[in-house]
Chain A
Amino acid sequence: NAGVTQTPKFQVLKTGQSMTLQCAQDMNHEYMSWYRQDPGMGLRLIHYSVGAGITDQGEVPNGYNVSRSTTEDFPLRLLSAAPSQTSVYFCASSYSAGGLYNEQFFGPGTRLTVL
């Protein structure tokens, strides 16, 4: 199993550009999410999905869109990039919600710089 994969690993954008961060998992997990990591802030939840066709907002959703057309894929779209979106982005998935099975598996991350 590849686990959770993310592409690209690095990306530089200019302000106003749009792009999609890709995330895929091969563990048949129902739950997937996107986090951003900023210095001194830990990981903050952007959007999450509890299954194909179902998405919801997390703590910091503004400026980002997601969709979940398949169980495996959960892309994150930046609509119009801003310098404040410079961050490291992590995708994660888990088998279930809450409790014993809420161990989330993380991808290796995408480091995004917006100039």
Chain B
Amino acid sequence: DQQVKQNSPSLSVQEGRISILNCDYTNSMFDYFLWYKKYPAEGPTFLISISSIKDKNEDGRFTVFLNKSAKHLSLHIVPSQPGDSAVYFCAASAVNDYKLSFGAGTTVTVRA
């Protein structure tokens, strides 16, 4: 049973607008959450992360929000750029646990 869920397989957004990607999790032991970006024929690359002691983390155009009570996190990309077109994976890990649990991914397409 998948413990990390990304219910939107795809998202299309116009260049310059905001992209919002959502992720839900079921395991209350998760305390660290990451977003990875993946281009075709490449491995995933780390994008941004957040610890459970925070509710927001920002890095340039990327912001991750965490709502622990709802077991929900989201990634905001503002403004969206053509180079942001990729698959985005949400991942989570528990305290002192190396293993990451991944969602199924959301394919983002940024339209010119």
Contacts and interface: CB of A to CB of B under 8 A. Distances in A.
Partners in one complex: yes
B43 A4 contact: yes
Contacts of A41: 104
A98 to B, nearest CB: 4
A75 interface: no
A107 B43 contact: yes
A42 B89 contact: yes
A28 interface: no
Interface string B45-61: 11001010000000000
Contact of A44 (B49, B96, B102): B102
Given A42-B105, A102-B32, A94 B98 contact: yes
B43 A106 contact: yes
Given A42-B103, A94-B98, A98-B98, A103 B43 contact: no
Interface in B1-57: 2, 4, 6, 9, 31-32, 34, 36, 41-46, 49, 51
Interface residues of A, number: 29
A98 B95 contact: yes
A108 B105 contact: no
B21 to A, nearest CB: 14
A41 B96 CA distance: 25
- Kindly state the interface size class of chain B when it binds its partner: 20 to 34
Contact of B45 (A97, A99, A106, A109): A106
B102 A99 contact: no
A17 to B, nearest CB: 24
Given A42-B89, A97-B96, A109 B41 contact: yes
Contacts of A100: 32, 49, 51
Interface of A: 4, 31, 33, 35, 40-45, 48, 50, 58, 90, 92, 94, 96-100, 102-109
Given A42-B89, A98-B96, A99-B51, 16 more contacts: A33-B99, A42-B6, A42-B104, A43-B91, A45-B101, A48-B98, A48-B99, A50-B98, A97-B97, A98-B94, A98-B97, A98-B98, A99-B31, A99-B95, A100-B32, A103-B46
